């Protein structure tokens, strides 16, 4: 006979495994194994949860998804978020230096908006236009001048430089988006709009 708490733990583990199977979660690592509980393959076979609990968990997930999509609808309606692919973009409307902008995004569990393709660039541009302010992007110049990288150090796979940019030659290590969506290398201690991605 399972104790109440281990029964709940099993239920939560099952919920997480079910969620993991239902949602494609890029970037989310495999679930760690929980000592004393079957792994995700174990849960697929026997012994498994009573059908009533399985149905209940399925119901919980369906309701959570419905609730989340309604909340996203409200936020989008109010111009608080924009969704592009799997990313959610949002701004706090504040203009601060690069380090502060990045810090705000990370504190909220995200990072600075980083356009990886034209569609994402256009979604970020929508927010730049909404506030009519240039925004810092999640891109920085590396040690070699002229070599810009994502914040995680990976090389850029998409660029949208304005004509004659980047021109700072090591003196402008951050990147801002203009109100036409093009990019300019820019000093990092100026005031640009904070746009985060989650
Ligand atoms: C300013 C700065 C530079 C930019 C030029 C373009 O000097 O914003 O980063 O390259 O304008 O004229
Ligand atoms: Ca420049």
**Model pLDDT for residues 37-86, shown as the tens digit of each residue:** 454 444 456 678 999 999 999 999 999 999 999 999 999 999 999 999 99
Nearest to 137, CA basis, from 66, 59, 56, 193: 193
From the CB of 173, is ligand 1 less than 6 Å away?
A: no
Nearest to 195, CA basis, from 99, 90, 64, 74: 90
CA–centroid distance, residue 168 to ligand 2 (Å): 5
pTM recorded for the entire structure:
0.79
* pLDDT greater than 90 at residue 30: no
List b or e across 83-110, with b for residues whose CB sees 16 or more CB atoms inside 10 angstroms. ebeebbbbbeeebbbbeebbebbeeeeb
Mean residue pLDDT of the chain comes to 85
pLDDT band at 170 (very low <50, low <70, confident <90, very high): very high
- Catalogue all structural domains in the chain, each as residue range(s) with its CATH number: 4-77 (no CATH), 83-197 (3.10.100.10)
User: Which residue's CA lies nearest to atom 4 of ligand 1?
Assistant: 184
d(CA 59, CA 81) in angstroms, rounded, equals: 27
The number of the ligand 1 atom at minimal distance from the alpha carbon of 185 is 9
From the CB of 171, is ligand 1 less than 6 Å away?
A: no
User: Which residue's CA lies nearest to atom 8 of ligand 1?
Assistant: 186
Distances (CA, A) of 7 to 12, 14, 31, 111, 156: 9, 11, 18, 37, 47
- Report the pLDDT value the prediction gives residue 3, as an integer from 0 to 100: 41
pLDDT in tens, 101-127: 999 999 999 999 999 999 999 999 999
* pLDDT greater than 80 at residue 19: no
pLDDT in tens, 145-154: 999 999 999 9
Residues 33 and 39: beta-carbon distance below 8 Å: yes
Region 175-193: mean pLDDT is 99
pLDDT band at 27 (very low <50, low <70, confident <90, very high): very low
- Report the pLDDT value the prediction gives residue 99, as an integer from 0 to 100: 99
Nearest to 148, CA basis, from 196, 115, 181, 189: 115
Tell me the two tokens of residue 102. 């990045």
Q: Peptide bond before 169: cis, by omega within 30 degrees of 0?
A: no
User: Which residue's CA lies nearest to atom 2 of ligand 1?
Assistant: 186
Residues 40 and 33: beta-carbon distance below 8 Å: no
């Amino acid at each position: 006979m399972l104790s109440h708490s281990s029964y709940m733990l099993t239920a939560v583990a099952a919920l997480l495994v079910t969620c993991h199977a239902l949602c494609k979660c890029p970037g989310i690592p495999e679930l760690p194994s929980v000592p004393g509980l079957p792994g995700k393959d174990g849960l697929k076979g026997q012994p498994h949860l009573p059908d009533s609990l399985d149905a209940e968990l399925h119901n919980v997930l369906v309701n959570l998804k419905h609730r989340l999509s309604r909340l996203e609808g409200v936020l989008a309606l109010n111009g608080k978020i924009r969704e592009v692919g799997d990313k959610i973009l949002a701004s706090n409307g504040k203009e601060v230096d690069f380090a502060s902008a990045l810090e705000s995004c990370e504190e909220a569990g995200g990072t600075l908006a980083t356009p990886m393709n034209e569609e994402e660039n256009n979604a970020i541009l929508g927010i730049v236009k909404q506030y009519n302010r240039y925004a810092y992007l999640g891109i920085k110049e590396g040690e070699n001048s002229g070599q810009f990288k994502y914040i995680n150090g990976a090389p850029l796979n998409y660029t949208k430089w304005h004509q004659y940019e980047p021109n700072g030659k090591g003196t402008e290590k951050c990147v801002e988006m203009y109100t036409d969506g093009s990019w300019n290398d820019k000093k990092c201690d100026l005031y640009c709009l904070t746009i985060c991605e989650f």
